[in-house]
Structure 1
């Protein structure tokens, strides 16, 4: 009698690493229990114990820290630190995330050429040929006993709503559901895999248990729809939302390992082989491994040490001074009462663009503002995205509509106090989608119904004319309609400033040396 064949498989996922290699919070230079160097220790331990391992990065790996930024701007003649680390850890594949485009296609193409593994995305197409732009959209990996695993890559197709057009030139982003359906059928017929993994740089648009929408159904996140509508998916690896998920949806085992390398996603599977039915899955177990108690891998640390040392030297450069207090003591208060840091960013934007209306956001709650002696560390820690600026032409009505949109950031809690709308916190913090404006004056009355909260909207002491046009400077993400600011999408672009905001801010200090911390109280948030 033939001995029954069995196989155990371990799938490991990283996602949304955002350039985090070392366990450091660059704003303070203090220890932070995260990063790929710590994850590497866990991966290597598993690689020593397990035989059949599939290791995948789910996207957004190459942007997000000063190390990643400094590499692109000043060290890109060397190998990409994230890619060389992936190579060392023997990744099987990586998915292209939305932030992979932030530095332009040449940087992304360089990373792809350096990688010893494929970058997969079935739904990013060449606009002419309609074929996958970055090469084969899937990978077949053969394991013990000839067990065949298919890995299909998908990327949120919402990227054109965020990214600069020149960074995605000649690209077309197909609906993920459409691509998945077509490619899964093709792969199953041609390759006959025993296990089908879809790695999707996108998240869940609905509650995993109830199916109730958890966000406006824009198409940005389609993971729930993939589980419910696309046949043939055994495992769905997700990301983009920075959530911690390990569950099952409609028989599909799903996982999402947060962000910045704080967790490693793991799925353990066990199969037995039947002469009549082939490979049969006996168990699937998803889990999340916390990296907090794990030590950093010394080999990975040493490999990336030159990048880190150069970054730290650059971050410690003093570039200017602040007279007064520009430190953010309370991020919520900085969004409800005008803060000198926000006013400063808006005024820098207005000066370089030569316009008199601007908007910006306090991107995250870890932003600390500027101390008396400003360093590059403070600039890149406060302004964490590689944004450029655009001046677009808006009507007064567009501006009012945008302010009404931004006013949805607030709610009144059970005590009748102003609070943050949960939709801007869960499932993913989106504080960057609350804008504060300069060059106009306005009041947000949170006690009013949504859509009717903007009062006393003025410019130069006169009511803003709804049918008149104005030139407004904002970051390129917002100018493209990012954050569901649909009133901005497709508007006439009057001017583009092709410098990163971090460079613009640094150049401002180089020019003026000393900046006064001040506000003009042109807006307020109240309850009537």
Structure 2
């Protein structure tokens, strides 16, 4: 608990986790630009959140308990709200922004998209909209996950916000006109209450522009084709930023749902990179600061030099789920010849675990929080054994077998195919577990934490092998049989994953009517690791034909797996996989691993099984 007798300044000082801590408490810093002698100076502070992913309370709905992790982070925009209020009390001129991915990521957001949707007859207000409205955001940009539930639901959410939802590179499919507001200009009053005469420079016009990663076009292709398309961030910014300046913006701040470190999980499937914030700062003049999102990393303070102007552009990314608040201090000066200009810029991050949640934000979302808890705690069946996903990254587990079984069964029933059906699933959540005994909605939902839908494509045997080889890039090349820790084996760095291959881009493939068996030889280089690939005990030939149950993210090119985007599509009914799993347990009442689980794949070194200690 926070000692309410301490000062706001002490509260904020204790919350600083990186960046220009001294500058946050009053010192100046950053890089100064040459300018005429100023007649007035001021500071505008831009506060930023990103990748909230439906977190309002500091709550883990999958555990039905207060959130905690090994670093003892707290989550939720209610905690962020307390930090925002504290900074607003200390700063005279503030703006509050969000960099996207707001309405997907927790059972709370799923509930108001699928169980009691905001587009339904009752049309409830989305709890994230209610929370953000209570806080008083000035603007937010789109995130790629905003499109997961379709454009109609997103439009409803947009209509419920009290602030603009920006997406300058999201374009109408037919006209290529802006599908969302490109920017907003906020007029910030600099004159003090003691000023008796109106003067030039009493206000500074802050242009706020929003961009989203163009990967949306791949990952939510089914929801967006024929409706919304995307331009590259840099390409669109070259058009939009001059218009913002021409419209009267003195300074320009961008909320960009695109990581700072240039890379693309989809390879060259699009002509523009997924993560382009650094390129934006380098290549487009006129931008003073960028609130970065999408990558789920901490960037307390980073400067990128614009190649045309030579000026530094400030970048700051406040982690994810509301664990941090970005505080970007823009020191500005006014001269008659130039108007307002940024003379220095510094930033830092504040840690949400240093404060209590804001009571007002909790109050406006309490009913939604309580409804979601009731829903996720409802018992829908039983399990004959405990199923854990803890080791699914490096060994065959019943937990992943269950997902693959349900997906494959659904595809076989829907298509009536006589071809062998295979299924892919990734170890999304190593904390997921189905207990022995009663099984609740949250137990099942924890296995599949993304709102993907089920599709089916057709592959040859050669394509199955190529897919598995690509997936096996997830493992680092090691020699010997161990024992190895999981960290010594997993999350290998690749050209498309310079920070390490994420767990969600490692796919495990299983058969339905017969086992698909294979070894992954981690002593071999990537591309030559799949051994003994067989279906039902018979080696898989290049010309064999298979139906693959696959999620829409992967089928649309997410992760840049080979063959998927050009494969024949046999099924795409837009059925959410999480709901499919929940419905299966509801219908069958019993989860029995003997129905679906066998050991079909293993990690080997030189053909000999290896030992992994976890």
- Provide TM-score, normalisation by structure 1: 0.93
Deviation per residue, 1:260-306 (Å, 9 max, x gap):
11001110122122233433433211111100011011111111111
Kept in 1, the 8 Å contact 2:491–2:503? The answer is no
2:580 alignment partner, SS class = helix
- Say whether residues 1:391 and 2:448 are aligned partners: no
- Say whether residues 1:325 and 2:386 are aligned partners: yes
Could you tell me which residue of structure 2 aligns to residue 421 of structure 1? 491
- Say whether residues 1:361 and 2:402 are aligned partners: no
Kept in 1, the 8 Å contact 2:38–2:334? The answer is no
Distance 1:277 1:185, change over 3 A: closer
Kept in 1, the 8 Å contact 2:399–2:447? The answer is no
1:428 positional shift: 7.4
Q: Among 499, 503, 506, which residue is 1:431 paired with?
A: 503
CA distance in structure 2 between the aligned counterparts of 1:280 and 1:479, rounded to whole angstroms: 47
CA distance in structure 1 between the aligned counterparts of 2:527 and 2:404, rounded to whole angstroms: 25
Could you tell me which residue of structure 2 aligns to residue 209 of structure 1? none
Could you tell me which residue of structure 2 aligns to residue 210 of structure 1? none
CA distance in structure 1 between the aligned counterparts of 2:172 and 2:343, rounded to whole angstroms: 40
- Say whether residues 1:200 and 2:241 are aligned partners: no
- Say whether residues 1:49 and 2:90 are aligned partners: yes
CA distance in structure 1 between the aligned counterparts of 2:217 and 2:462, rounded to whole angstroms: 24
- Provide TM-score, normalisation by structure 2: 0.80
Q: How does 1:91-490 map to 2 (within 5 A)?
A: 91-134=137-180, 136-144=181-189, 145-188=202-245, 190-206=246-262, 218=268, 219-245=273-299, 246-250=301-305, 251-328=312-389, 331=390, 333-354=391-412, 356-412=421-477, 417=484, 419-423=489-493, 427=499, 430-439=502-511, 440-490=516-566
Could you tell me which residue of structure 2 aligns to residue 21 of structure 1? 56
1:374 positional shift: 1.0
1:49 positional shift: 2.7
CA distance in structure 1 between the aligned counterparts of 2:186 and 2:130, rounded to whole angstroms: 21
Kept in 2, the 8 Å contact 1:243–1:259? The answer is yes
Kept in 1, the 8 Å contact 2:144–2:212? The answer is yes
2:206 alignment partner, SS class = strand
Could you tell me which residue of structure 1 aligns to residue 15 of structure 2? none
Distance 1:428 1:458, change over 3 A: closer
Deviation per residue, 1:302-358 (Å, 9 max, x gap):
111110111111111111111123123xx3x32222101111111111111116211
Gaps of 5+ in 1: 207-212
CA distance in structure 1 between the aligned counterparts of 2:274 and 2:285, rounded to whole angstroms: 21
1:217 positional shift: 6.0
CA distance in structure 2 between the aligned counterparts of 1:127 and 1:486, rounded to whole angstroms: 27
1:237 alignment partner, SS class = strand
Kept in 1, the 8 Å contact 2:519–2:601? The answer is yes
1:152 positional shift: 1.2
Distance 1:391 1:21, change over 3 A: same
Distance 1:65 1:92, change over 3 A: same
Q: How does 1:482-521 map to 2 (within 5 A)?
A: 482-518=558-594, 519-521=597-599
- Say whether residues 1:64 and 2:138 are aligned partners: no
Q: Which moved more, 1:288-297 or 1:83-92?
A: 83-92
1:93 positional shift: 0.9
Deviation per residue, 1:154-206 (Å, 9 max, x gap):
11011122114234532111111110111112222x22422111211100234
Gaps of 5+ in 2: 1-36, 68-73, 190-201, 306-311, 413-419, 607-614
CA distance in structure 1 between the aligned counterparts of 2:575 and 2:435, rounded to whole angstroms: 21
CA distance in structure 1 between the aligned counterparts of 2:107 and 2:332, rounded to whole angstroms: 44
Q: Which moved more, 1:120-129 or 1:23-32?
A: 23-32
Instruction: Flag the structure with larger Rg.
Output: 2
2:470 alignment partner, SS class = helix
CA distance in structure 1 between the aligned counterparts of 2:352 and 2:444, rounded to whole angstroms: 28
1:393 alignment partner, SS class = strand
Count residues in correspondence: 516
1:521 alignment partner, SS class = coil
Could you tell me which residue of structure 1 aligns to residue 65 of structure 2? 30
Distance 1:369 1:252, change over 3 A: farther
- Say whether residues 1:12 and 2:47 are aligned partners: yes
CA distance in structure 2 between the aligned counterparts of 1:102 and 1:202, rounded to whole angstroms: 17
Distance 1:7 1:367, change over 3 A: same
CA distance in structure 2 between the aligned counterparts of 1:216 and 1:432, rounded to whole angstroms: 13
CA distance in structure 2 between the aligned counterparts of 1:40 and 1:10, rounded to whole angstroms: 15
2:353 alignment partner, SS class = coil
Distance 1:318 1:166, change over 3 A: same
Deviation per residue, 1:4-32 (Å, 9 max, x gap):
32221010111100000000112222222
Distance 1:224 1:216, change over 3 A: farther
